[in-house]
Amino acid sequence: MNTRQTFWIAAVGAALLIAGCAPTTGGRYYGYPSYGTYDPYYSGTPDPYYGGTSAPYYDPYYDGRSHAEEHRDLAREHEEQHEKLEQQYNKAMGRLDRQEHQAEEKLNRKYGGNAADPRYQEEERKIDQKYDYKRQKVERNITKEHGEGHRELEREHDAYHNDW
């Protein structure tokens, strides 16, 4: 290969590189389409009257998901609600277990671990009743939240089907 061929190949390559990488190529100015051109990247439709593009159509009430996608999304949301409620339940029950254990330790220190003392037995019964009641309350509240979550998902599902 002689010098002349090498020079022409380098010149053509440089010209192509510059033509493809220049910031104002194709009538663009700092990355925006020029007036009168259509660029799908910037969306919109060509507007021949003004020579630019019109704003893209956007409908906030339109849901482009298919029926299967809607059900998949609702199932995922339902699973997330179950996980959240399970975490809340575990956290509350762990807290109650810890508090009950601390109350029993305090009771043991107060009476020197003498489980035969009637006062010890009475206070132990009160502690058991108190924390059993609190556990039932946590379960009742979690069940209530779970039911509300199901009703909300059912409303979303019904609203989706009613929009058909």
Which pLDDT belongs to residue 19? Answer: 58
Q: Which residues contact 114 (CB under 8 A, 6 or more apart)?
A: 120
42 compared with 140, residue with greater pLDDT: 140
* Rounded Cα gap, residues 31 and 28, in angstroms: 6
Residue 19 token pair: 């033509």
Task: Compute φ and ψ for 55, nearest 5 degrees.
Answer: -70, 145
The answer, yes or no, to whether residue 36 has pLDDT greater than 70, is no
Q: Give me the residue spans of the domains in the chain.
A: 3-53, 67-162
The answer, yes or no, to whether residue 129 has pLDDT greater than 50, is yes
Task: Note the pLDDT tens digit of each residue in 8-23.
Answer: 677 666 665 565 554 4
Strand partners, 47: 52
What is the DSSP secondary structure assignment for residue 44, as one 8-state letter? S
Q: In terms of Cα–Cα distance, which of 127, 138, 123 is closest to 91? A: 138
Q: Is the pTM of this model over 0.85?
A: no
Burial class (CB in 10 A: 0-12, 13-18, 19+), 142: middle
Alpha carbon of residue 64 to chain centroid:
19
